[in-house]
Structure 1
Amino acid sequence: MSYKSLKEAISCTQTQQSSKFHYQDVLQTILVILAIIIGLGIVIGMPIFLIIYSEPPPTKFSVVKASIVRFNLASSNTLYYNFMVTITAKNFHSNIESYNKVTAIASYNGNQLASVKLAPFKISSKNIDTLEPIVFKGNTLMIFEPQQLVEYNKETQLGIYNLDFDLDLNYSDYHIHCPSLRVPLISNGKVAPTFNVTTCSYMDDRN
């Protein structure tokens, strides 16, 4: 092989190697760009996906008003009561929430006072609705333990009673619990203390 032919062969080999290295650089650059695009897509797209497809929180129930007209314990251990509770419901969903079977339950010192069946109601989509006031009126046998009787007498002096309020919705699948409501007594012409709005907890009994 002549010197000229050898020189041409070496030059051709160098050109091929240079082309190979250039191809590898281009491929590596493309892979890096693709990785960056995919990463950005995940970072940007994941929050959007979660916002669009995540389930909204359950309906939020709150007790906004509550007052007692009568809460007297007779010598026969009969408790005579008359009080009212007003609640609001905030629907986070885009559809109307319907509740066809509703039972309101009031308790005192761990003992159920009464239950009231409510008319079916609907909550507008992405809105806060105020339900009709729920009235509990009647009497029940209430036998207190000594400490419970002490607590009752203290609350009577203060004019504020601690009541528990619950809602069973849609055949008891959904349960709303509003514990320790400090409900003021408004009888005898006295100025009642302000009732503090209380947010209720939500439980799904199907789980």
Structure 2
Amino acid sequence: MCSHYDPVLNAQKLKQHFGVDDLPPGLKPSLWPTYVGPFLRKHEHADVGDEAVPFKELMVGSFGLIPHWAKDTKIARQTYNARSETVHEKPAFRDSWRLNRHCIIPAEAIFEPDWRSGKGVATRIVRTDGKPMGIAGIWTGWKNPANGEILRSFSMLTVNADDHSFMRNFHKPDDEKRMVVILHEDEYDGWLNSTAEDARHYLRQYPADGMRVAVHD
């Protein structure tokens, strides 16, 4: 599971690797649940047939999905990851999944606890090739009952990693090993445009040799 990551906040990187721009200023360089960060979604007018409308757009939202029925934003502390096996049925996530609200969370790195020494050591993990990660997620909007403002939010999708030669080294020894779904670049548009049925194709492990510990990064 991933509760801490560094978002991509470099405008040039976002344009080069994700094809989006217009990043708002003032975002935090390292995020925990309830912090606000960038995510990509299919543009809300992408299907109108206007060539001037881009396929995807950059948004900002809370790390930790806040379903429409939530009374406040505290639930984001528990909804930052969504298990791919049960995302379609869990109350907090099922509406976003049913409505095909897929998103991509751009990340420079993720952090996971390495317990091989007997205690959890926060470890920064990056892609071996130096490119940013595009993490598969789901998003939604929540209306603040106090002022009527809409707050968007997102959750990272995860898969089992018990047999993953790299990610099985993280988390407590007796816990199930999990990892976020890291998409390949040629899957970005397909993921954003997929239906709930087609989306299952993307929910799989990222190759172990494509990930490394960032010792000196």
For this structure pair, what is the TM-score category when the shorter chain's length is used for normalisation? under 0.3
Structure 1 or 2: larger strand share?
A: 1
Structure-2-length-normalised TM-score: 0.24
Structure 1 or 2: larger helix share?
A: 1
Structure-1-length-normalised TM-score: 0.25
Larger gyration radius, structure 1 or structure 2: 1
